[in-house]
Amino acid sequence: MFVRDAKARCPHLTVVPYNFDAYGEVADQFYGILHKYCTKVQALSCDEAFLDMTECLHDNPEEVTERMRNEIFGTTKCTASAGIAENRLLARLATRSAKPNGQLFISSEKVDDYLSTLPIKALPGIGYTVSDKLKSKEVEHCGQLRNISKDALHKDFGKKISNMLWNYCRGIDHSVVEAVQETKSVGAEVNWGVRFNENKDADNFLVNLSREVSLRLQGCGLQGRTITLKVKTRRKGAGEPLKFMGCGDCETMSRSTTMTGATDNLVTLQRIARQLFAALHVDVKEVRGVGLKMSKLEHADLGRGAQQGNMLKSWLGSSSEKLKKQCSERTCFLGNSDGILTCQRSCRSHYQ
């Protein structure tokens, strides 16, 4: 339940503030337990991770998963849900089905049955535009999607999205669990609480967002040559989102530019971010999310190298504090009320 709805039902509700120190402590305990059972852990956030359990195949993956979940609860007093399947996609879906505080194993024999009635919008990476277009063709479940040829999907959605749809509705996912991931971009994005009344508000936001990206680059000992600005605007006719101050139903647009030399300079980032934002010609009152990203990364000057080289290794390491808090893609989840694990029988596990 959203806080807005809870307060509407209970006007005298006391809302407890965030406690990030406690979150960090629990995240450390959470990942410590995962690494006791598995050496190949891909962290996605402070409470989400994928585990490649192939090395544990001599044990029953369901029993191993249950032991991990019990230890997580015993140590942190936070429940954890887990999905076990042959790849990351299915493990992630299994985790969702396992909530709250459960675990689900989707064996290869059960994949077709599980996916046949699964709503297409439950697949990761499927947004409003794709799901609405398929719904207009009376295609709402993966079983129905399987009846559409790959050529027809290519025609309607293009090669990238059509290939993803074709594979996902069949439970196909070739991505692997990567304990250490190469950093291809460094950025920051905010999609909650973004509401501007005038251009000055947007400008101040860009200044602060650029500062955050600059600090992250410097913290990793990296500089970038390509800067990309992504802006989400409220879709025409869309109402207020269910989540208070959320982004809701949006359209996404972006602009990027590539410089001749790499930089992490704050003033440069602020100047280019402003230029890119102006080039989008958006009504600032309709903006619901803004992201700034640096790519085509290079190592920073050796003047800062030694210290930041160590920081980069720390940020990339799957067991490091940085990676526990800053990850992308899906693997293992943990929340204050429920966390996830995912296993594959080659074997992948997903925790939240």
Domain extent listing, the chain: 1-177+321-352, 185-316
Are β-strands 348-351 and 48-52 bridged in parallel, bridged antiparallel, or unpaired?
Answer: antiparallel
User: Does the fold of domain 185-316 match that of domain 1-177+321-352?
Assistant: no
Q: What span, in angstroms and rounded, lies between the C-alpha atoms of 163 and 64? A: 34
Claim: this prediction has a pTM higher than 0.85: no
Q: How many Cα neighbours within 13 Å face the side chain of 96? A: 13
Q: What span, in angstroms and rounded, lies between the C-alpha atoms of 109 and 92? A: 17
The more confident residue out of 305 and 194 is 194
Q: Look at residue 336 in the predicted model and tell me its pLDDT.
A: 33
Q: Is the pLDDT of residue 332 over 50?
A: no
Catalytic residue positions? Answer: 48
In which band, very low, low, confident or very high, does the pLDDT at 306 lie, cut at 50, 70 and 90? very low
- CATH fold of 185-316, please? Dna Ligase; domain 1 (3.30.1490)
Q: How many CB atoms are located within 10 Å of the residue 20 CB?
A: 10
Q: Look at residue 348 in the predicted model and tell me its pLDDT.
A: 61
- pLDDT tens-digit readout, 52-89: 988 776 778 899 999 999 999 999 999 999 999 999 99
Lowest mean pLDDT segment, chosen from 130-144, 189-203, 258-272, 314-328: 314-328
Least Cα distance to 339 among 45, 86, 106, 62 occurs for 45
Q: Look at residue 333 in the predicted model and tell me its pLDDT.
A: 33
Are β-strands 48-52 and 82-85 bridged in parallel, bridged antiparallel, or unpaired?
Answer: unpaired
Least Cα distance to 200 among 285, 268, 291 occurs for 285
Q: To 5 degrees, how large is the angle CA 241–CA 185–CA 183?
A: 120
Which residue(s) pair with 343 in the sheet? 84, 349
Lowest mean pLDDT segment, chosen from 53-57, 95-99, 221-225, 249-253: 53-57
CATH architecture of residue range(s) 1-177+321-352: 2-Layer Sandwich (3.30)
Q: Is the pLDDT of residue 310 over 50?
A: no
Q: Look at residue 349 in the predicted model and tell me its pLDDT.
A: 67
